[in-house]
Structure 1
Amino acid sequence: MSRPVIVVVAAGPGVSGSVARRFAREGYDVALLGVDEEQLLTLAGELEGLGVAVGHAVADITDVAATSAAIRRFGEHTERIDVLHFNPSAFREKDPLELSVPELLEDVALGVGGLLTAVQAARPFMSAGGRVTATGSLAADKPWHRAASLGVQKAGLRNLVRSLDAALKEDGIRAVSVTVRGTLGQDERFTPDRVGEAIWDAAHQDEADWRTEVPYPV
């Protein structure tokens, strides 16, 4: 396969869909992984309309075996993965006095552990110039106490991205998280398409000045 390939983890109608469309417009073939097949099929149809090849798989991101197998199938089919975009997080409206340890661990397994699973599965198909991108959040720095697990997820995600970048950079693969410093829909800056554009830019930043975290808006 000659065209570059992006794998979008937790694909759906929001930011992840905008990321998929942004890369597709640049000629990337797209592999979609998510839990809602109807949403995946809708997005796949939109992407095919842009003239790229699209594959999709339904999997629970917290299911390590299923997620790993799906990403390996994508890589074996395309023979390359150039960008892995990680989008999921769990929103659970419970404060720290209500949140149980099992609930916290369940949410972290999705919002942080899923990235570990995805990168480990994708790594054999990535080469120099490959990129790992992740949708971060201001919750990492300013958590809302009524959704305590979200702040833990986003802080952990950012930390893991930094570790992944350090582990991968000698092979020419870089990792970056984009910290969305606001709420989607609050104004014209915070549309999924604007955030998708920021993720595109972060993936294509100058490697000589690489940042593992990019705030949006700057």
Structure 2
Amino acid sequence: MTKTGEKPVAIVTGAGGSLGRATALRLGRDGFAVAVLGRGGATLAETAEELRTAGVPTYVLEVDLRDAAAIKAAVREAEAEFGPVHALINNAAIYPPTPFFDITVEEFDDVVAVNQRGYFVAAQAAAELMRERGTGAIVNIGSITWSGGWDKLASYVTTKGAAVAMTRALARELGEFGIRVNLLSPGAFPTKAEEIHENPEQYTQFVLDHQSLKRRGDPDEVASVISFLVGKDSSFVTGQTINVDGGWVMM
């Protein structure tokens, strides 16, 4: 793999999922070279193939987000082999649907390792590179569940609330280096994550009852806001939480 020339590089974690893939493709259309990071497998390979078919310079990083050393190495590899990293999108997450009293410490630690520690480590590794150039953008993907809680997802909701706090702390500390940090909280999008719900039709109605906009969102509508947050048009935006949820949560 060669350097991408003048194209800025974006790293998207969890790029094999619906939101991650939509984000990677949108950033590719908007002029980024894209490094897709995930555990590997068919879905990550499919994202990479779609990017390459679209003519987007693409670099694949197969990493388990539980492995802090591997995350740091992957971020450095992306820059060394692919070019200067301008943007990091912390998107990868796991969400075991377990009732609170049945959550083991091991399961809780596993969710924290991916959804919270993984975000922190990736952000630290990327920011170390960005500060040398005095510019960069990090977008952490949260969830509207942190705003009001959610049953059978206590571990996941806990990590998403932590992502909000981390975003604000990093925005405050990294601003002097020209690095912007924001958080995007998606609502209930029709992705694989909805397989945890036993009755899809009932859940869809539940979503529509709570949203102000009475239709389901499209992953591209998340990707477009992420593209804004890492682009020049948001050059004075940092430390913010933006809900993309059809008007479910308003704050």
Q: Considering the TM-score relative to the shorter chain, is it more than 0.5?
A: yes
Alpha-carbon distance change, 47 to 209 in structure 1, aligned in 2, over 3 angstroms: closer
2:221 equivalent to 1:215: no
Letter in 1 for 2:118: G
Give SS of 1:137's match.
coil
Give SS of 1:32's match.
strand
- Using the aligned pairs only, state the percent identity: 27
- How far apart in 1 are the matches of 2:109 and 2:152? 17
Q: Name the larger-Rg structure.
A: 2
**Normalized against structure 2, the TM-score is what?**
0.80
* Structure 1: tracts of 5 or more residues without a match: none
Letter in 1 for 2:242: V
Give matches, 1:1-218, under 5 Å.
Answer: 1-126=5-130, 127-180=133-186, 182-185=187-190, 186=204, 188-204=215-231, 205-217=233-245
Runs of 4+ in 1 over 3 A off after TM superposition: 186-189, 204-211
What is the aligned residue count?
Answer: 217
**Normalized against structure 1, the TM-score is what?**
0.92
| CA shift for structure 1 position 13 | 3.6
Letter in 1 for 2:217: F
RMSD: 1.8
Letter in 1 for 2:76: R
CA shift digits 1:20-61 (9 cap, x unpaired): 011100111010110133222211111112222101021110
Letter in 1 for 2:95: F
Letter in 2 for 1:53: P
Conserved? CA contact 2:94–2:156, under 8 Å: yes
- How far apart in 2 are the matches of 1:122 and 1:21? 21
